[in-house]
Structure 1
Amino acid sequence: MAGQIVLKRKIAAILAADIAGYSRLVAEDEEETLRRLAAYREVVDDFIARAGGRIFNTAGDAVLAEFPSAVEAVRCAIDIQESLRTRNRDFPPNRQMSYRIGITIGDVVERDGDLLGDGVNIAARLEGLADVGGICISRAVHEQVANKLSVQFADMGAREVKNIPTPVHAFRVAMRCEDGTFAATVTKKARALRLLGWLALTAVTLAAIGVGTALYLDYRDPPPAQRDAAKAAAEALARLSATPAPPVSSSSKPPASPGAQPPSTPEPQSSPQASPVIAAERFAADAVPFVSERTRIALARDYVPAPAHKAFATTINGVSAYVTGQSSEEAAKAAALEQCRQRAETSNGSRKCELYAVGDSVVFPHSKPPLPPLPWVRHDPTTERAFSAAEMPLVNDSGRARLEANYAPGRRSKAIALGPKGHFVFSVGADLVEDAVRRNLESCGAQAGTPCMIVALDDAFVVPVPTVLKATGFFHATSDPAIAADSRDEVVRRLAASPSGWNAVAVGTAGHPGFGLNGDREETAIGGALADCSTQDSDCRVIAIGPFTVEPN
């Protein structure tokens, strides 16, 4: 019958998420908060879609999504939190935008694409129990994922929540710390063990105090029984103080492979003077250069918590491979390099695979790639225009042909990073714009040995690319020999105060600069710079347009 409402009942994994303190963030800076919310929602929506989920409702900062699998729902939530945690690093703590996420499996009713019922309500209540930047799941979800994901869980017990008649048994998912490790989780059993330990420690301490008091009262040579009691109490206290609390985890990890042996610990050797030891850099997934955000998340989820023996190899173009659970360290290194080489054979970039990490230590033989200062991309409608391979600055004809054949028709997100001598790196089809920008800058900087710049993003030039004059390199006012030494700081200051529009710098025979700033066209900036220079110098010529040094075509 026309107009009849169709209801469909089913079981689904429901994810509920919203931003902690969103109202405060909007009140403090509405425009900036809404811009960031849109960017963060792109990340959230992308991860949900890739995990096979479907967003069925949104309201302001809140998102409700369904998944056919609890495992995929939890894995998606972890990926979202890891990715957004990285983005939040660029902001002070009071301006960070973090989600709380709740997940349950429950009976729901589908009506015109929307979902209703206890499953949705419980997911929303679990989201309210989650930490800022954290994930809270129901017992039903925990039973589904505990043996399938390499993460830890903390039993929060049964919780009374609003508008749900029976208590909800909740578990907290342990999120990764800044050093790549996972936050310790404390279960009821752990608390009980810890309490017993403290009780034992207190009893021994009191015994030691009692014996010590007796010895103090009888400062003369004590009887043997008192000496023995004091010694025993002191030794017991020392043992308890030196013994760390046992690690507690409710996660289920696969057993070690047959024949695998834990690394042996050498016996400490006494030495009158210890030699200085330089600690190796500890592996952190967020700090790995060249690779995609998806690879970083996979490293955090799979590589970081894995036991020895393991290794990770990469090329400067981001082709990479990692292995875990190998029979030895040498086997891990060989396997990671071989897998990386096999993948690099099919890539268009560098095929040189190098070990980046062995175990939990970084062994990469090169320093971090040089990067320009933030922001890496500054959008300016006055200077942005459609990308044209024929107008690509500093690049030779064969490079332009490559860009015309591969970059121009390539799928978004895509970016081109350019070095000062015409070296360039580009990629197409990235999941996220920020990912494409970072990876190309890292790869270009590693090969050029100096910071590169993003000149094109998707289908537009995002820096002023001169056409009236020919770009010959990057412009650095502090070291440009054409500018009088006592005028270079003024050039730096004037250009920093004019971040938008077309900017040009001209100098005369004496090196006195003239400026054409905030122009609406390249010609306007050129004319302004020459006119300004001519008031204080002679034979003026334009030496810089935007970020480039220039000369006549």
Structure 2
Amino acid sequence: MKRKIAAIFAADIAGYSRLVAEDEEETLRRLASYREVVDDFIAKAGGRIFNTAGDAVLAEFPSAVDAVRCAIDIQESLRTRNMAYPPSRQMSFRIGITIGDVVERDGDLLGDGVNIAARLEGLAEVGGICVSRAVHEQVANKLSVQFADIGAQEVKNIPTPVHAYMVAMRREDGTYATPQVKKVAKAVPAPNWMWPLVVGVVSVVAIGVGGFLYFTKLETTKVPSAVAATTPTPASSAVAPSPTPTMAAKAPMPTQSAMAAATPAPTPAAAGGKFPADMVPFIGERVRAYLSNEYSVAGDYKAFALNIGGFVGYGLNQPNEEAARNTALDQCQKRADAAQSPRRCELYAVGDTVVYSHGKPPMPPQPWVRHDAMTERPFASKDFPIVRDPAKVRLENLYAPAAKSRSVALGPGGQYFMVMGASSVDESARRSLESCGAIAGVVCMIVAVDDNFVVPIPTLLRITGFFHAASNASIVADARDEVVRKLGDGMGWNAVAVGTTGRPGLGLKAADEQTAVNSALADCARRDSDCHVIAIGPFTVGPTN
């Protein structure tokens, strides 16, 4: 063991247990995506992660300046990613930073420095940063960061109060928020003269309640028999129908056994009782034709199962409903397992009634694909945006050599889904968007069709996410509508730059990426200072390093 002085960084997700309870699979998937961002920033800032547990991250930095700068970069990057999700599903970190003496053992760090960083993290606002006085003294004159002094804070298991500061985070309008601290109110003991009065009041209340119960005794003795007659037994109790799910607050996916045991609140079949085959997501046109013909005319005991990846199973002309359910689920799951699909199969319909509990996946407006000769270029897996290297290898091995028609849809958090060998480009685009949208929980975008990228893929700056001008915090609020209007149909190369006050400059419909960037910077310089490019095409961008 050895001792050293280090800047300790502690972070975890606010409300993580609630997010997991609402949708475990989607939360874990996004946690992995957000952790990639956090880990990348820590590594680039010279930090080292020495411990993780669930949603928590502990890291050390050789410099308090590097630790605070890294924390700010993380919070601003994740804030942009969170814009793609409704407020109830946003995943925000709290971060605490201190400088302290720690003990290193087998790569792990122990000591008061680690404990205080964790307590400061608990004081931080959602999406905010809280630092100790030692960190503030090191950073105040080295970074252009505003702080709010919240004074000495009593924290659990630390014997002396910790003097703390909040980092003021930038608002959407370019101003800085004043952090608020939740102060714990201490109970004030009642004065001695109050006790006789309290005893007297309690005595009077007790006498009154006793008298009430005495005079109502005969009436209350009749109630139990009435209640017993009207309360249903567990065997006969009614089950309230489940509320209709929405994508904004998606319920956790039921397991296969739960789906087989109980049918969710059914969605009525299409007019005339015919199975609504046109409404089924994730499937190809051949499966849709089979549902419209063979499935629709089959006997009463039938069921249909699918998964997000488009694998399906049928149970037709079965002896009873349970047999139809089990047959459909088993057939679908065997096909999914054979293809190594990670998604579980679920019942979509029993008879002609839809029982699928997740509704339709979020979809963008049509047209899903727009061809533009100025921006299209040959597909290259190494240039595929946002996703990590293992995904690029998979795209190279599976997508690039696959049969047409094929397409890849991409989500703002790096989720993606590819469909190969479809009957048409329209089918491959629809299916990849539906599956990607179901995985991401938000609208995805078609990035590649067959052998080409069909959206502008920036190369001058690093792609960091999806660009939505209407909600982008870097652009001053009163200018966002104009940016949306001027970007219009998005054809050609477009770029957006902003300056210190968030005033935007635009480079529109350029023939190449460099021209769009130069135009945006020049336009911004006429309105603002210290301009930098924040978006190229449909993506947000940042420095390459």
Q: TM-score, normalised by structure 2?
A: 0.50
Structure with the greater alpha carbon radius of gyration: 1
Q: Which structure is richer in relative contact order (CA contacts within 8 A, separation 6 or more)?
A: 2
Q: TM-score, normalised by structure 1?
A: 0.49
